[in-house]
A = this chain, B = another copy of it.
Amino acid sequence: MQQLENLLERIIRRLNINLRGFDFDSGLFLRGCVPLPQLFKFYAFYAVTTRHPIHFHFSNSNLAGSYFLGKCKVDNAILYKSDIRGDELKSKGDAFQHRSSNLTLDQDELIWITDSFLIKTLVHNNSHDPENPEIYHIKNSAACHYANIHGAPIEGSFLGAFATVDLTALHGCVVGPYAYLQVGELWHQKVEEGRIWINQYNSFDFRYTFPEETLKRYVCLEPGKPPRGIFMDFIDDRKKDFRKVFDVVNMEPTISIPQTSSVSRYGVIKPETQVGENVLIAQRAYIENSVLGKGANAQENCFIINSWLQGNNVTAHGAKLIDAQLSENVFVGFNSFIRGLPESALTVGKGTIIMPHTIIDLNEPLSIPAEQLVWGYISNPEELKLQSIPLKQLEITTSPLKIGDMEFRGSGARFVATFQNRINHILEANGAYFDGAKNRGHAQNGQNVSYNIIQAYPIGPQQGIFPTIDIQP
């Protein structure tokens, strides 16, 4: 596995050069955090459908356990159990609007990952970067366990475990564990762990940081080891259920699924689960003893256990729901951890937005009203008061606002509208509004996928490296 070891060192070297201003050694975190033999244990797979233009090209890379959809090129990279989703790639000739500029793509959009190490990372394109409309590039970068890279390119950057970079192009940044960024673009900054920061140019700014000691219980990172804490323990406890779905080539569905819904054959569906119309359950989602009402969607790496979702619910990438009852149109953002009490489920009223990276882990029964914005760490009704605001109240805010540790500036109305438009886009793209003819989305188009399985060289100096492969229509 000499070539694989060389590849890892090459990536560390290139990333460190980008981060030399911080004197940051990514090798401390990347070496040993996934033992190398794990990297040739798993196959990689890519989806072939008639609805997504495909072009895959993989060279000098390890892709163990990773999943690809759409157009994607990977060179000199290690993608360990990562999901690389290109189902909203733009096409040649498509218009791309940024503020007042209109751009036209001169070739089909492509995801291109070079000299990078992504660990269990979700990459979703729908790129909003106006500088590189044709190439969604992840370069000289590393992302640790369960990070999300969403809708913007990154270069020369390091993301800690469970960090999310959302609609934010990163250049030479270090992002701490469980930090969430949605700020458009960021140059050479260190973002502390548990920092939640949403900024829209000339419109609004939202900031919150988790208390350090609280966060450590949920996610804690030490050099050379996988992350520890409640998040990892929770995931590890359910690991074995995934083994079967990845071991079998053709899985038969275990529950009945309406024709307008789709359940990935790489998801885990345990008894007693019910799935309504227009539901999308992505690969690596885990659903147990839950009801997913019409138009609900369960994204990659999410867990929904002993819960009831009434409809049009988004459970975003990496979100976890346990013992919860969500009314219609409740949104749960990236990597949130929402756990009610077994004897008293958390209830959440209609239209409430649970922000990305929110931890609700109850010690006492709690009911969250309708139409709220909720963030931060909440374990009881008292804490809810300091980590939530009614959307109606936020909508009329124009002056700076401080609630608990949260600081908000700018236009509350634009903040709420931006969030709601985006939730609406997600529901629409996922097919929640399909009426049998119009508004098809991933739930309808995600059926009829064929999965293709590729493996690395099993022994020798190339052990763990995948052959060069090129797949076109």
Interface residues of A (CB under 8 A from B): 43, 48-50, 54, 246-250, 448-460, 462-463, 467-473
Contacts and interface: CB of A to CB of B under 8 A. Distances in A.
Contact of A460 (B50, B452, B454): B50
A48 B248 contact: no
14 contacts: A43-B452, A48-B457, A49-B457, A49-B458, A246-B249, A247-B249, A247-B250, A248-B249, A448-B458, A468-B471, A468-B473, A469-B470, A469-B472, A470-B470
Most buried by B among A248, A455, A469: A455
A54 B463 CA distance: 15
A76 B50 CA distance: 19
A54 B455 CA distance: 13
A452 B455 contact: yes
A95 to B, nearest CB: 27
Given A448-B458, A452-B453, A453-B453, A467 B54 contact: yes
B459 A50 contact: yes
A468 B469 CA distance: 11
In terms of DSSP, what is the predominant structure of the interface of chain A? loop
Given A50-B460, A50-B462, A247-B250, 20 more contacts: A43-B450, A48-B455, A48-B457, A48-B458, A49-B458, A50-B459, A50-B463, A54-B467, A247-B248, A448-B458, A448-B459, A449-B458, A450-B456, A450-B457, A451-B455, A452-B452, A452-B453, A453-B453, A453-B454, A467-B471
Contacts of A452: 43, 452-455
Most buried by B among A462, A467, A473: A467
Nearest to A249: B247
Nearest to A463: B50
A472 B467 contact: yes
A470 B56 CA distance: 10
Contacts of A451: 453, 455
Contacts of A247: 248-250
Contacts of A470: 469-471
A449 to B, nearest CB: 6
Contact of A457 (B50, B246, B460): B50
Contacts of A458: 48-50, 448-450
A473 B460 CA distance: 13
Nearest to A461: B50
Nearest to A58: B471
Contact of A48 (B246, B249, B250, B467): B467
Most buried by B among A248, A452, A462, A472: A452
Contacts of A473: 462, 467-468
A65 to B, nearest CB: 11
B462 A455 contact: no
The 8 tightest CB contacts between A and B, nearest first, are A450-B455, A453-B453, A50-B460, A470-B470, A448-B458, A448-B459, A468-B472, A452-B454
A206 to B, nearest CB: 43
A253 B43 CA distance: 18
Contacts of A54: 467
A365 B230 CA distance: 71
A449 B458 CA distance: 6
A440 to B, nearest CB: 14
A366 to B, nearest CB: 43
A43 B249 contact: yes
Contact of A248 (B248, B448, B455, B469): B248
